[in-house]
Amino acid sequence: RRTPAPAWLPTAKGEEGDFCLRSSDCAAGLCCARHFWSKICKPVLREGQVCTRHRRKGTHGLEIFQRCQCAEGLACRLQREHGPADTSRLHTCQRH
């Protein structure tokens, strides 16, 4: 038996910026991610966009501003800088 959705949750798939509980509440190309103390539909990350790499399982929930995962076919990897000072810790979505 399914319980009805809360009144504030739209019956159609949420667009970018709409409140959500899980990614399935959002339209294609969006995921449900934390924004302050609520969750909204945000765009899935494309190639070259900055992503968050989590070293330990469960740390994703500690973020106030979560990012979506990289789109299918992309992985969140350390961005390689050219030159001797390769000290960047910036991660971007890159092809496998």
Q: For 45-71, how does the pLDDT look when each residue is reduced to its tens digit (9 = 90+)?
A: 999 999 987 766 655 556 789 999 999
- Asked whether the whole model's pTM tops 0.75, one would answer no
Question: Who contacts 52 (Cβ-Cβ below 8 Å, separation ≥6)?
Answer: 60, 63, 66, 67, 76, 91
User: In the structure encoding, which two tokens stand for residue 84, read together?
Assistant: 């001797």
Predicted local confidence at residue 96, as pLDDT: 81
Instruction: Delimit the domains of the chain by residue range.
Output: 18-95
SS3 of 70, please? strand
pLDDT digits (tens, 9 = 90+) for 18-37: 999 999 999 999 999 999 99
Class of domain 18-95: mainly beta
Q: Tokens 């740390």 sit at which residue?
A: 59
Percent of residues, the chain, with pLDDT higher than 70: 71
Q: Which one has a higher pLDDT value, 90 or 87? A: 90
Predicted local confidence at residue 88, as pLDDT: 66
